[in-house]
Chains A and B, each alone.
Chain A
Amino acid sequence: MAASAATPLEEYRSLRGALPGQGLAWLRDLRDGALQRFSERGYPTPRDEAWKYTNIAPLLKQSFVPALSLERSREVAPADIAARLFAGAGMPLAVFVDGRFDAALSDLSGLPRGIEVRSLREMLERDGAALETLLTSQAPREPHGFIELNTAFMSDGAYVRIGSEAVAERPLHLLFVSSGAEQPLASYLRNLISVGQGGRAAVIEHYVSLGDAPSLCNVATHCVIERGAALDHYKLNEEGAGAHHFAGLYVEQARDSRYVSHNVAAGGRMIRNDLRCVLAGEGAECDLNGLYLAGGRQHIDNQTSVEHRVPHCTSREWYKGVLDGRARGVFSGHVVVRQDAQKTDAQQMNNNLLLSDEAEIDTRPQLEIYADDVKCSHGSTVGQLNPDILFYLRARGIDEARARRLLVTAFAQDVVARMTAAPVRAWAEHLIMARLAR
């Protein structure tokens, strides 16, 4: 990536032949089409409504080399990986270094029957035709430059398939590592997660960096949840201070399915998440939990969108943010209830805590409703720690720093408490304490 929009085109020209699955005509067309659209529209600017509060102009001044142009990725020591695992959980593990699957660091030996975790590159090269529907069916609500680039350059990622009635007892851990190479790298990941009828699983998308070197991660995850299936999806970001993360998450739910998202954004210089959930079958349910912790000069932007396409669906959304230093938080929660999607129950809440004078929050909950027999609400608050409660605690001998920690932890607690995977919950609690101690 560089200052001019022409560079991705040049990169694409030189890398096009090396991209996986180029033997497939539909995939070639998909990539070419995406790049074509990118070359017409370029990167999003604050003039685009969805990017009003996130200006990427400074980022475009830096240059990143596509990681897939390198011969091989940088060696990562197994000890570095071990340090990032959830203590004592023994989860099946797939490791991606700079956007490339690393079989040596992964451990997929203990996968239960009916559950498949593979590298997308491998799939595209061997069995690409089977992915056509998954890769072409879903589109973002407001496509933008990053999504198009992702489609053009996607080269690897996790392919997760939970077969019909298959149940994964332990969460599947997908670990995405930025190796901190000297040359700033851009990685383009595409994850495909599908849960067959009646299947049940928890998948953890976990983004980390080794060090604080600049990096760019452009990822798109597609989840397809079939009838009566359930997916717990964790997206955890604790990348280093130089990381830029642009993620799209597209979920499509069939009848009576259940999707629970836990989105923790705490790392990186800039994080942008576009989460879109389509309730396409009656009785489908989705819960979106989010927690963003930002300090220093971090910028965290969460854009969520829930579309109630059919009657009798339920959506719940809780996003909480804690902003310190000169951080900026952005939240947009869009709920649309399509015509005739009666008996919809949609609720959304966004709470923000500003801890410093220079932190900023821009929040934008939105309801768009075209049916009448619905129950929809949203709420949004911005505030600070209640001085009375602080006083109460201090009057009981708790020093101010500790009292503040207690209150912030309590503020974030309900989002954390909804995580069902105990190891991740412990990780999140630890993360909050560590952030507050800084």
Chain B
Amino acid sequence: MAETSRNLEHLIDREYTAGFVTDVEQEIFPPGLSEDIVRRISAKKEEPAFMLEWRLEAYRHWLTMREPRWAHVNYSPVDYQSISYFSQPKQDKDRPKSLDEVDPKLLETYEKLGIPLREQEMLAGVAVDAVFDSVSIATTYREKLAELGIIFCSFSEAVREHPELVRKYLGTVVPPGDNFFASLNSAVFSDGSFVYVPPGVRCPMELSTYFRINAANTGQFERTLIIADEGAYVSYLEGCTAPMRDENQLHAAVVELVALDNAQIKYSTVQNWYPGDENGRGGIYNFVTKRGLCRGVNSHISWTQVETGSAITWKYPSVVLQGDNSVGEFYSVALTNNYQQADTGTKMIHVGRNTRSTIISKGISAGHGQNAYRGLVKVLAGAEGARNYTECDSLLFGDRCGAHTFPYIEVKNRTAQVEHEATTSRISDDQLFYCMQRGLSREDAISMIVNGFCKQVFKKLPMEFAVEAQKLLDISLEGAVG
């Protein structure tokens, strides 16, 4: 594979194309975290009293916790007092009514990223709630969704306008004391997205939010809450890019999904945050808590993720299968290159009867990347007839990378059927020979094999995203694999 490693060098030389800083005047809190800062964030966002109480409780709990160390990743410690916990574009006071009113510099940012809002509007039914740093600056297609009773807005808006819904569901899936990063998020979260789909409504378009980290030294603490009421369906897309910068940036988001009886939620992520340079300097720390709760019978939650960015990715989108006959799915492609590290996987907690879960995880490691799958399949005593199928495959490029698999399987019910399999290999010479013998160049052959390796996951992505995901994978590995 001499050629592959040569190609890998190409890849290592490749600059992060989305790396640039938009010079927008920003209002930023001084670095540091204290009860006062939490109060100020809450006041800034004009939140009702219950939210402030909730934040303070989380903050106090966070103070008692220690940062976890068990993941298969190495990084220099985060100084939580050197992070600024709030930043928003100055122009926030008079929010733009339409895209024309949006600061042209912001629009330029999106344009550079190749995801211009203008085009998004015209794209087949995609509504965009764009998060620039911490505050949503533009939301489209709101009226159309409102007609169906679907609420799709920024989290702060939801807190102000639909406090009863927020109060009812916030923290029910990821409680404020869940883990170190979730507690931190609960205390200081700045904004995020809120979706509520009323009973029986099928959301007619893919909902999408682009996250973007911009101001230096501002950790982003997004909070997303999606509720699909009885019989509802929603598909949600999340994608991210971030400008190039040297300091590590902390991102500790929380995503909560709640599916009631017969509801279905599809959550797809394409993550392409700045992964650090070829020497492993800089890059985003992505420590995210994502969890879905299949609360009702026959509910269905699926996570699909394509992870190509971040210096360190540490996340386990999980599903708690509480309702009888509920279904949980996890499809993931995670790529690590240079000095990137990923410890990602899922948890499937089978509580209800006849619950089913599927886990397909594809890891690609290149350069000095370390890629770990860590998962838990837990079948509780009452989960009669639970079924799980897990497949974790790893593909290695180069002799300095690593691929690891740490699945945990805990079964307390004999009617459960649980299967787990994992393989690790590089592209075999036989496969390459077969393709090349049929006239494909080596690069095309490798690209085809890699695409085939990820197919199972890509086909679960919505059309628009599948295209972007493949493009991302190409950008990240193209130099390496043709």
Determine whether the beta carbon of A339 is less than 8 Å from that of B399.
Answer: yes
**Residues A374 and B424 in contact in the complex (CB < 8 Å), given A364-B406, A380-B409:** yes
A378 CA to B423 CA in the complex, in Å?
7
Q: Which residue of the partner chain A has the closest CB to B420?
A: A380
| Chain B residues closer than 8 Å to A377, beta-carbon distance | 421-424
Judged by a CB distance under 8 angstroms, whether B70 is at the interface is yes
A400 CB to nearest chain B CB (Å):
16
Inter-subunit contact B421/A384 (CB<8 Å): no
> Can you name the residue of chain B whose Cβ is closest to the Cβ of A379?
B421
A379-B420 in contact (CB<8A): yes
Stretch touching chain B among A120-128, A162-170, A352-360, A430-438 = A352-360
B409 CB contact (under 8 Å) in A359, A361, A367, A373: A361
Q: Are A357 and B422 in contact (CB under 8 A)?
A: no
- Whether the pair B410, A362 counts as a contact (CB closer than 8 A) is yes
For A382, list chain B residues within 8 Å (CB). 379, 409, 411, 416-418
B424 and A373: CB pair below 8 A?
no
Taking a contact as CB atoms under 8 Å apart, the answer to whether B426 and A367 are in contact is no
Contacts of A342 in B (CB 8 A): 399
The total of interchain contacts (Cβ-Cβ below 8 angstroms) comes to 114
Q: Which residues of A contact B19 (CB under 8 A)?
A: none
Residues facing B in A301-359 (CB within 8 A) are: 339-340, 342, 352, 354-359
Residues of A within 8 A of B406 (CB): 364, 366
| Interface of B, helix, strand, loop or mixed by DSSP | strand
Q: Contact string, B78-118, partner A, CB cutoff 8 A, digits 1/0?
A: 00000000000000000000000000000000000000000
The smallest beta-carbon distance between B368 and chain A, in angstroms, is 10
Q: Does B302 contact A (CB under 8 A)?
A: no
Q: Nearest CB to that of A342 among chain B residues?
A: B399
Residue pair A357, B405 in contact (C-beta under 8 Å): no
Q: With an 8 A cutoff between CB atoms, is A368 at the interface?
A: yes
Enumerate chain B residues within 8 angstroms of A379, measured Cβ to Cβ: 419-422
B421 near A383 with CB under 8 A, answer no
Q: Which residue of B lies closest to A360 (CB)?
A: B412
Give the complex CA separation of A375 and B413 in angstroms. Answer: 33
Which of A339, A355, A378, A381 is within 8 Å of B414, CB to CB?
A355
In the complex, A366→B392 CA distance in Å?
11
Find out whether the CB atom of B425 lies under 8 angstroms from the CB atom of A376. Answer: yes
List B contacts of A370 (CB < 8 A): 400-402
Interface: B294 (CB within 8 A): no
CA distance A216 to B53 in the complex (A): 53
Interface residues on B, range: 35 or more
- Name the interface residues of B391-444: CB closer than 8 Å to any CB of A: 394, 396-426
In contact, B407 and A364 (Cβ under 8 angstroms): yes
Instruction: Report B267 CB to chain A, min CB distance, Å.
Output: 27
Asked whether, in the complex, the Cβ of A376 is within 8 Å of the Cβ of B412, the reply is no
Option from A340, A366, A369, A380 in Cβ contact (under 8 Å) with B402: A369
B381: Cβ under 8 A from any A Cβ: yes
Interface centre among A359, A362, A367, A377 (most CB of B within 10 A): A367
B420 near A373: Cβ-Cβ < 8 Å = no
Chain A contacts of B400 at CB under 8 A?
339, 370
In the bound complex, CA of A373 to CA of B401 (Å): 11
Quick check: A374 and B411 within 8 Å, CB to CB?
Answer: no
Considering the chains assembled together, what is the distance between the CA atoms of A359 and B414 in angstroms?
7
Given A354-B414, A355-B414, the answer on whether A378 and B399 have CB atoms closer than 8 Å is no
Which of B406, B410, B414 gathers the greatest number of chain A CB atoms within 10 Å? B414
List CB contacts (< 8 Å) of A39-62 with chain B.
Answer: 49, 53
Task: Contact check, B418 vs A381: say whether CB atoms are below 8 A apart.
Answer: yes
Contact of B70 among A49, A365, A372 (CB under 8 A): A49
Does residue A9 face the partner (Cβ distance < 8 Å to B)? no
Task: Choose one: B398, B411, B417; the contact of A360 (CB below 8 Å).
Answer: B411
Which residues from chain B contact A369 at a C-beta distance below 8 Å? 394, 396, 402-404, 424
**Complex contacts, A354 vs chain B, CB 8 Å:** 411, 413-414, 416
Residues in chain B near residue A339, CB distance under 8 A: 399-400
Contact A367 B420 (CB under 8 A): no
Q: Which residues of A contact B422 (CB under 8 A)?
A: 365, 367, 377-379
Complex contacts, B410 vs chain A, CB 8 Å: 53, 360-362
B421 and A366 contacting across the interface, CB-CB below 8 Å? no
Q: How many angstroms from the CA of A199 to the CA of B398 in the assembled complex?
A: 38
A371 close to B (CB within 8 Å):
yes
What is the 8 Å Cβ interface bit string for chain B, positions 355-392, against chain A (1 contact, 0 not)? 00000000000000000000000010100000000000
Residues of A within 8 A of B404 (CB): 366-369
Contacts of B407 on A, CB cut-off 8 Å? 364-366, 380
Which residues does chain A contribute within 8 Å of B416, judged by CB atoms? 354, 382-383
A363 within 8 Å of B by Cβ?
yes
Residue of A357, A372, A380, A381 near B397 (CB, 8 A) is A372
Q: Given the complex, which residues of A lie within 8 Å of B396, measured CB to CB?
A: 369, 371-372, 374
Whether A366 pairs with B405 at a CB distance below 8 angstroms is yes
Interface centre among B404, B412, B424, B425 (most CB of A within 10 A): B424
Smallest beta-carbon distance B396→chain A, Å: 4
**Residue of chain B at shortest CB distance from A341:** B399
The answer for the CA separation of A382 and B415 in the assembled complex, in Å, is 9
Distance between A336 CB and nearest chain B CB, rounded to angstroms? 9
- With a cutoff of 8 Å between Cβ atoms, the chain B residues found around residue A378 in the complex are 405, 420-422
Indicate if the CB atoms of A340 and B399 lie closer than 8 Å. Answer: yes
**A354 (CB) vs chain B CBs: closest residue:** B414
Q: Which of A356, A366, A370, A382 is the most central at the interface, judged by chain B CB atoms within 10 Å of its CB?
A: A382
Q: Which chain A residue shows the least CB distance to B429?
A: A373
* A365 adjacent to B418 (CB under 8 Å): no
A380 to B376: give the CA distance in the assembly, Å: 13
Nearest residue in B to A347 (C-beta to C-beta)?
B423
Do A361 and B401 form a contact, CB below 8 Å, given A377-B421, A381-B420?
no
The answer to whether B425 touches A375, judged by C-beta atoms less than 8 angstroms apart, is yes
* Further contacts, 11 of them, CB under 8 A, given A359-B414, A367-B404, A372-B399: A352-B411, A354-B411, A354-B413, A360-B411, A365-B420, A368-B402, A370-B401, A373-B426, A381-B420, A382-B417, A384-B415
The 5 closest A-B pairs by CB, nearest first: A354-B414, A372-B396, A382-B418, A367-B405, A376-B424
Can you pick out 22 interface pairs between chain A and chain B where the beta carbons lie within 8 Å of each other?
Answer: A49-B70, A354-B411, A354-B414, A360-B410, A360-B411, A361-B411, A362-B409, A364-B407, A364-B409, A368-B404, A369-B403, A369-B424, A370-B400, A371-B396, A374-B396, A374-B426, A378-B405, A378-B422, A380-B409, A382-B418, A383-B416, A383-B417
Which residue numbers of A lie inside 8 Å of B, CB to CB? 49, 53, 339-340, 342, 352, 354-384
